[in-house]
Structure 1
Amino acid sequence: MKLIYILIALSGVLFTVNAQDNFQEVLNRIESNNTTLKALLEKTKADKIGNKTALNMANPEVEVGYLWGSPSEEGNRKDLNITQSFDFPTAYGYRSQVVTGQNVQADLVYQQQAKEILQQARVFCVELVYQTKRYAELNERVKLAKELSEAYQTRFDKGDINIIEYNKTKLNLLNSEKAMQIAEVEIATLRAELQRLNGGEPMLDLLSNYSSYSLPLSFDQWFNEAKMNNPALESAMKEVDLSRKQEKLTKALNLPKITAGYMSERLLGTTHQGFTFGVSIPLWEGKNTVKYQKAQTVALEMQQKDSELQFYNTLKNQYHRAGTLFDLLRDYEEILSTSNNRTLLKKAFEKGQLSLINYLLELSVYYETIDQYMEKEKEYQLALSELQQWDR
């Protein structure tokens, strides 16, 4: 417990952060060290290589025939047939466009998953700052409770007070110490979570301050920029474009396929050889494939519009929530900045103007106000973090 308190006191010296985002150094480390992201990056590379295999032509076919003649004087026949099939020429151009689009999609999927992991880390950072501040506040409460308990221990030993009053101070101290221990456990848990996201590498720095990110003045103006930084929305738009390209490719694949090759036939000392050429007749195989792909495009267009609408409404709700919490915090700050009830109550108690029970009761009300303020401050920062992740 003492070690954590010392680290908290030194955190301002140990932790150097960006002025605009106190969490950015932590996020940068996680982005570099996170093992899940490393695995996803390798998978993305593999998927892009796999997409390129669609550009390869079909394998050539070689057919050899050896036929025994009957009667034997007819001689034996030897055949050699080499063929290569080709799609209709325009199919190769469309297929290249589709593969390029698929590779872009693979990158966007990685970016989206990376954003999700970094946002999880940002939430842990907010929680860690909250628990760090709460621990510091509880530490002050423990000091005050310990002073009171020790003073009443002396009075109890002298016989000035009864056991009931003395036990009240002991219970007050016990509750304060247990609350601080719980905060200590939460700090350790959150640091372990950040270490997990950091690929198991320890993060020795403690966060003691929230990000200095401010609520955007105009939501709609901010949203127009934010949506450009959402890989999921960009992926949805690219998916529609990719589906349109797939339509063109499907049409091209339904056009006649061409087969060209070389053929030779040897019989009784004579050789017949030459080139072969064939064209497939597209009657049944491609039926409804183009119609299906067009229906897919329509469905993807609707999904893309819905995704943008849901994204807009979700962020707008967070924006309004953050604004409401900001106003609420200003009210708390106005009251807490003009009065320090902890000091006033202590002076009144020492002068005998408050009984022990009233002192503890009034102190608990003051503590509850601080706890509410810190809780709302955390909620405000969590709402901001939902917006901040789309700024880059």
Structure 2
Amino acid sequence: MKYNNKYILLIYALMLSWGVNAQDSFQQVLRNIESNNTTLKALQEQTKADKISNKTALNLENPEVGVGYLWGSPTGEGNRKDLSITQSFDFPTAYRYRSQVVAGQNTQADLAYRQQAKEILQEARAFCVELVYQTKVYEELIERVKFARELREAYQIRFDKGDINIIEYNKTKLNLLNEEKALQICEVEIATLRAELQRMNGGEPLMDVLDTYSNYVLPLSFDQWFTMAKVNNPALELAEKEVDVSRKQEKLTKALNLPKISAGYMSERLLGATHQGVTLGISIPLWEGKNTVKHQKAQTLALQVQHKDSELQFYNNLKNQYSRASTLSGLLRDYEEVLNVSNNKSLLKKAFDKGQLSLIDYLLELSIYYDTIDEYLERERDYQLALSELQQWDS
């Protein structure tokens, strides 16, 4: 699909009035992959397992049961039987902070899944762009093969009549061979891309015909668009949540360094007498928790720096993609202006038919025209790949 400046401006104006982008022609493919992709299904199950694992931190420590049997000496003293049941408790505030940490960790698990899902869908979107590009190349090569075959057949007639020599005839055969081989290579590329998309679609064949690019339009203001894109980036949200969880972990670490309490039941039997009652204990936090709070604060600071770096890298990467797309958009307009006002293919054919060009000059000039079309299709593909890097952050 070719775009001119007026068309782009019209579409963007409509987009602003609707408040949404035009429908993405790849959307159905991406929806199918999101539903059928086996990697995403495995990640979903892993996310569930991680969230269950996080909740295990909320459980109390196991109670401790002790049994003692002591032989008396001398024999008349009798034997002693002891029984104790003890349950340990952290300082009360630790349970509140631990619950907050677990909730944050579960949110992290969801964000990590969203991040991985976005990466998989972006890979699929890039395959879609490549598939459209190869389809456009295929359509162009079909015409070239048809034209080269007609030329070869015409020269075969002339060769059979003795109007031209074998060298001239072989030039048309080589030209046809080159175009046919290029077409075969393109067919292989299309089959490979469709196989990749089928793999990502959980083995289900791709039923959609992808021969046009997405209608996504380059945003007019990068900074305004980036404000929205930043919100839709689960990796940045995950980095921010890691800082938040680390702060809560600081509070939990402090609470865990406070005295622990233990309570239980104890009984003692000796020579027919039984002694029983409750027990209470308290730990003295002297050595075990040394430097743990200090370490957690350092961890929080490191995560804050990483979060800022992630946001900066994200901004710079998207800014580069935006600049690349903007530059390619200008190049495409230049190509379109030239290709729309001058059809060198038909002009060359007329000059060749009138005998103004020799066969070798005709094929040479035709290859230059074909190279221009190939260059345009490649730049259009690059432009769409740059757009796809931006488009993924719109939702």
Q: Distance in 2 between matches of 1:134 and 1:74?
A: 102
What residue is the counterpart of 1:282 in the other structure?
A: 285
- Give unmatched runs, 5+ long, in structure 1: 1-17
| Partner amino acid, structure 2, of 1:142 | V
Equivalent in 263, 267, 279 of residue 260 of structure 1: 263
User: Matches of 2:22 and 2:251 in 1, distance apart?
Assistant: 50
Aligned pair partner of 1:318 in 305, 317, 321? 321
Picking from 6, 22, 26, the partner of 1:23 is: 26
Partner residue, 2:139: 136
> What residue number does 2:220 align with?
217
2:5 alignment partner in structure 1:
none
CA distance in 2, matches of 1:143, 1:348: 20
Q: 1:326-379: CA deviations, max 9, x gaps?
A: 000000001111121111211221122221111111111110110000000000
Aligned-pair CA distance for 1:206 = 2.3
Q: What does residue range 2-81 of structure 1 map to in structure 2 within 5 Å?
A: 19-81=22-84
1:297 is matched with 300
Alpha-carbon separation, structure 2, partners of 1:204 and 1:286: 60
Q: Secondary structure at the match of 2:119?
A: helix
Corresponding position of 2:154: 151
Give the TM-score, by structure 2 length: 0.94
| Distance across 2 between alignment mates of 1:96 and 1:351 | 87
Determine the structure 2 residue equivalent to 1:197: 200
- What code does the residue aligned with 1:363 have? L
Partner of 2:253: 250
Aligned to 1:361: 364
Percent identity, aligned pairs only? Answer: 80
- What secondary structure sits across from 2:394 in the alignment? coil
Q: 1:330 aligns with which of 317, 333, 337?
A: 333
Residue 91 in 1 paired to residue 94 in 2?
Answer: yes
Superposed displacement of residue 205, structure 1: 2.4
Q: Is the 2:65–2:83 contact (alpha carbons within 8 Å) kept by the matching residues of 1?
A: yes
Question: In 2, Cα distance between the equivalents of 1:147 and 1:165?
Answer: 15
Q: Secondary structure at the match of 1:150?
A: helix
1:343 correspondence with 2:343: no
CA–CA separation in structure 1 for the residues paired with 2:335 and 2:91? 72
Match of 2:178 in 1: 175
| Residues in 2 aligned to 1:274 and 1:113: alpha-carbon distance in whole angstroms | 56
Question: 2: distance between equivalents of 1:73 and 1:182?
Answer: 101
**1:378 and 2:381 equivalent?**
yes
Query: 1:319 deviation in Å?
Result: 0.2
Equivalent position amino acid for 1:102 in 2: Q
**Secondary structure of the corresponding residue to residue 218 of structure 2:** coil
Question: What is aligned with 1:8?
Answer: none
1:269 Cα deviation from its structure 2 partner? 1.5
State the superposition RMSD in angstroms: 0.9
Please state how far the C-alpha of 1:316 moved relative to its aligned partner.
0.1
Q: CA deviation at 1:19?
A: 5.0
Provide the rounded CA distance (Å) in 1 between the counterparts of 2:318 and 2:272.
83
Structure 1 match to 2:275: 272
- TM, length-normalised to structure 1: 0.95
Q: Which runs of 4+ in 1 moved over 3 A?
A: none
User: How far apart in 1 are the matches of 2:181 and 2:135?
Assistant: 15
Counterpart of 1:360, as a letter, is L
3-state SS of 1:131 partner: helix
Q: Which amino acid aligns with 1:146?
A: R
2:243/2:300 contact within 8 Å kept = yes
What's the offset of the Cα at 1:72? 2.1
Distance 1:220 1:104 in 2: 28
C-alpha distance after superposition, 1:283-306 (max 9, x if no partner): 000000000000000000000000
Query: How far apart in 2 are the matches of 1:206 and 1:176?
Result: 24
Per the alignment, in what secondary structure is the counterpart of residue 277 of structure 1? strand
Give the equivalent residue in structure 2 for 1:10.
none
Query: Hey, what does 1:165 align to over in structure 2?
Result: 168
- For the residue of structure 1 that corresponds to 2:253, the secondary structure is helix
* Matched-pair contact (CA < 8 Å) for 2:22–2:216: no
Q: Specify which of 119, 122, 137 is matched with residue 122 of structure 2.
A: 119
CA distance in 1, matches of 2:22, 2:302: 44
Counterpart CA distance in 2 for 1:204 and 1:23 is 12
Aligned residue type for 1:358:
D
Segments of structure 2 that go 5 or more residues without pairing to the other structure are 1-20
